[in-house]
Amino acid sequence: MSSRATDVRLPLWLAVVVALGAGAVLDGGFPDGDIWPLTFVGIGFVLLTLKGRSLGGSFLVGLVAGLSFYLIHISWATLFLGVVPWAALSTLEALFFAAGAMLITLAYRWVPRVWPGTLGRTVLLPVVVGGLWTLREFVAGNWPYGGFAWGRVALSQSESPFAGLVAWLGISGLSFLMVAIVAALLQLALQTTVRGSTRVLAGATVVVAALVVPAWPTHSAGTATIAAVQGDGDAGYFSDREYGDLTNAQVLAMSSLQAQLAQLPEDQRDLDMIVWPEGGSDRDPTRDTAGRYVFDAISRGYDAPLVSGVITQSDDGETVYNSSLLWADGAVQDQYDKKHPVPFGEYVPDRDFWRPFAPDLIDLIGRDYTPGTRDEVFDLGGFRAGISICFDIVDDQLITNMMDEGAQVIIGQTNNADFGTRPGQTDENEQQLAIARLRAIETARPLVNVSTVASTRAIDASGRTTASIPDYEPGTMVAVVDLGTGTTPAVVASRAIELLVSFFGLAVLVLSRLFIGTRRSRRRRLLDEAPDPVLPRWRVVD
């Protein structure tokens, strides 16, 4: 029996239409749509459009799918700097998407020619496709200027049954698995020489095998009582506010904290930490007397350290950092400076080069934050807290670093005011919260996400929300969190998994091309070496 699958090649016009819809469907799996199965459907549509394509055709449909996805997915970027940066970033990410699409098209073309059997088509080929998709996500997430890791397909699964797999595989590992599963199901659907019941059983087995992986067991090393404050101040970069307004908003939002503490069991009323968000104070307590008074009054009044986002400067004022300060006993006890400021958001890389292209836009970013060099873990005496500032939460390496430094709880400080100030205006905060939820599961650590406006939540190590503040309202929450201990497989091996599957996909693709080239050379050589055929002699009879 032949093991060849039915060849499917959509007409180019239809492939473009499907790709256009695929991007929108793909986005529907992410917050705020949050219909996680749609991500799998969107992946399937993208892969279907790439089968049997020319390189030019695959680039086109990949570009269309990428633009369709990113223009929707990061539409919140228009609220910060306008249409041009949103369109530019979406186009850049779509170009990466298109380049990845070309590689996947080559995999569909070459791998079955070298490994034409059923296993080659339904097992090896999907693994290669998943690896190449992961490779594209890896490159886009790291280059240029540190990359943009937003929109990885795994980030859509924070509320799905697949979420628990991030503790085993990490974010990139889950992306690989999702794409490989969809690619395998697509191949099984096209493997018409295998009985339908067998294909259904094989497909169901693949899905069930992924879902029955047990959740990583979590262990507690005691508890910590953490208060988080959401000031709902006018915290946008371009907001018209008076100096001190953000600090005042945070202080006013704490009016209900004492009453909340009174509702806790007596042995949990002593706070271990008070957390303000990124940019929570526009007064630097190391340089501002009023700021020092506020920080000291809060810390001494509640007998707990205050952790707050503050814009800090070097002594000469030449270097500016997006910082998180640990304040206790009248002084800064520790400081984390954001290691990867957002390019074209928190600083302009190669400013002299880019300014001639859009001078008005580039000049809007008047302050360039400097990348920090301090470690991202605070020692609170009885426990250690990992500090993540805003988009730090999407950086795999920073999360691994804080786990290596012994973090038992993750504090996510963020300022989302630039991406919306009222419910329904944006889904950026929901997308970021979904990433935070996956990080809690991935590391088996509780996570307290503290925003200026939304969304402030406490999340346990299983990804469950345990405390919250209503979005776009001032308030406080008190969370008693179980301090995490131990190390998940993802923390140990997620980067190795990412590199392994990416390298494997690329290596098989290259080897397939080499094998095909070798076969062609051998065939030509045999033809060249073959003796000329002896033609029969015919005698012409008159």
Render 136-190 in DSSP notation, one character per residue.
Answer: HHHHHTTTTTT---TT-GGGG-TTSTTGGGHHHHHHHHHHHHHHHHHHHHHHHHH
Q: Which pLDDT does position 359 carry in this prediction?
A: 87
- Render 255-302 in DSSP notation, one character per residue: GGHHHHHHTS-GGG-S-SEEE--TT-BSS-TTT-HHHHHHHHHHHHHT
Q: At 485, is the pLDDT very low, low, confident or very high (cuts 50, 70, 90)?
A: very high
Query: Which ranges of 302-427 would DSSP assign to H, the alpha helix?
Result: 351-354, 359-364, 396-404
- pLDDT above 50 (res 257): yes
Q: Which pLDDT does position 538 carry in this prediction?
A: 57
Q: Which pLDDT does position 542 carry in this prediction?
A: 44
Question: What is the average per-residue pLDDT within 120-143?
Answer: 97
Q: In 397-407, which positions are buried (b, 16+ CB within 10 angstroms) versus exposed (e)?
A: ebbbbbbeeeb
- C-alpha span between 411 and 139 (Å, rounded): 27
Q: Which CATH superfamily is domain 219-342+373-487 in?
A: Carbon-nitrogen hydrolase (3.60.110.10)
What average pLDDT does the structure give for the chain?
A: 93
Length of the chain in residues, anyone? Answer: 542
Question: What is the average per-residue pLDDT within 370-398?
Answer: 96
- pLDDT above 80 (res 430): yes
Which among 32, 101, 60, 95 has a CA at the least distance from the CA of 423? 32
Question: What is the average per-residue pLDDT within 182-190?
Answer: 93
Question: What is the average per-residue pLDDT within 160-175?
Answer: 98
- pLDDT above 50 (res 247): yes
Q: Which pLDDT does position 203 carry in this prediction?
A: 77
Q: Which pLDDT does position 391 carry in this prediction?
A: 93
**Which residue do the tokens 């919140």 mark?**
76
| 54 three-class SS | coil
Which among 293, 287, 312, 302 has a CA at the least distance from the CA of 248? 293
Q: Which pLDDT does position 535 carry in this prediction?
A: 59
- Per-residue pLDDT reduced to its tens digit, 348-357: 999 899 999 8
CB atoms within 10 A of CB 496: 11
Q: Which pLDDT does position 500 carry in this prediction?
A: 98
Torsion, Cα of 491, 493, 496, 501 (10° steps): -110
Q: Which pLDDT does position 6 carry in this prediction?
A: 57
- C-alpha span between 291 and 470 (Å, rounded): 27
Query: Between helices 166-190 and 489-529, what is the axis angle to 10°?
Result: 40
- C-alpha span between 263 and 261 (Å, rounded): 5
Question: What is the average per-residue pLDDT within 335-350?
Answer: 93
Query: Between helices 37-50 and 12-28, what is the axis angle to 10°?
Result: 160
Q: Which pLDDT does position 533 carry in this prediction?
A: 66
Question: What is the average per-residue pLDDT within 160-173?
Answer: 98
Phi-psi label, residue 385: left if phi above 0, alpha if psi -120 to 50, beta otherwise: beta
Q: Which pLDDT does position 8 carry in this prediction?
A: 82
Q: Which pLDDT does position 256 carry in this prediction?
A: 93
Tokens, residue 232: 């709902």
Q: Which pLDDT does position 208 carry in this prediction?
A: 82
Question: What is the average per-residue pLDDT within 447-458?
Answer: 97
- C-alpha span between 361 and 251 (Å, rounded): 34
- pLDDT above 80 (res 528): no
- pLDDT above 80 (res 125): yes
- Per-residue pLDDT reduced to its tens digit, 494-511: 999 999 999 999 999 999
Q: Is there a contact between 308 and 295 (Cβ–Cβ < 8 Å)?
A: yes
Question: What is the average per-residue pLDDT within 76-94?
Answer: 92
Q: In 337-368, which positions are buried (b, 16+ CB within 10 angstroms) versus exposed (e)?
A: bbbbbbbbbbbbeeeeeeeeeeeebbebbeee
- pLDDT above 90 (res 468): yes
- pLDDT above 60 (res 193): yes
Question: What is the average per-residue pLDDT within 344-349?
Answer: 90
- The alpha carbon of 511 is separated from its chain's Cα centroid by a whole number of angstroms, namely 31
- C-alpha span between 91 and 88 (Å, rounded): 5
- pLDDT above 50 (res 1): no
Percent of the chain at pLDDT above 90?
79
**Which residue do the tokens 């169901």 mark?**
204
Q: Which pLDDT does position 537 carry in this prediction?
A: 61
- pLDDT above 80 (res 4): no
Q: How many Å from the N-terminal Cα to the C-terminal Cα in the chain? A: 54
Query: Which ranges of 29-124 would DSSP assign to H, the alpha helix?
Result: 37-50, 55-73, 83-114, 118-119
Q: Which pLDDT does position 422 carry in this prediction?
A: 84
Q: Is there a contact between 42 and 25 (Cβ–Cβ < 8 Å)?
A: yes
Alpha-carbon separation of residue 499 from 101, 111, 248, 382, 408 (angstroms): 19, 20, 47, 36, 27
Q: Is there a contact between 136 and 100 (Cβ–Cβ < 8 Å)?
A: yes
Query: Between helices 12-28 and 55-73, what is the axis angle to 10°?
Result: 30
Strand-pairing partners, residue 433, are none
Q: Which pLDDT does position 532 carry in this prediction?
A: 66
Q: Is there a contact between 73 and 30 (Cβ–Cβ < 8 Å)?
A: yes
The pTM for the full model equals 0.93
- pLDDT above 90 (res 251): yes
Q: In 180-195, which positions are buried (b, 16+ CB within 10 angstroms) versus exposed (e)?
A: bbbbbbbbbbbbeebe
| DSSP 8-class letter at 371 | P
- pLDDT above 70 (res 539): no
Most confident of 238-242, 367-371, 435-439, 514-518: 435-439
Phi, psi of 344 (to 5 degrees): 65, 15
Which among 245, 334, 327, 236 has a CA at the least distance from the CA of 285? 327
Strand-pairing partners, residue 334, are 326
Q: Which pLDDT does position 536 carry in this prediction?
A: 61
| DSSP 8-class letter at 343 | B
Query: Between helices 489-529 and 83-114, what is the axis angle to 10°?
Result: 50
Question: What is the average per-residue pLDDT within 451-470?
Answer: 97
Q: At 315, is the pLDDT very low, low, confident or very high (cuts 50, 70, 90)?
A: confident
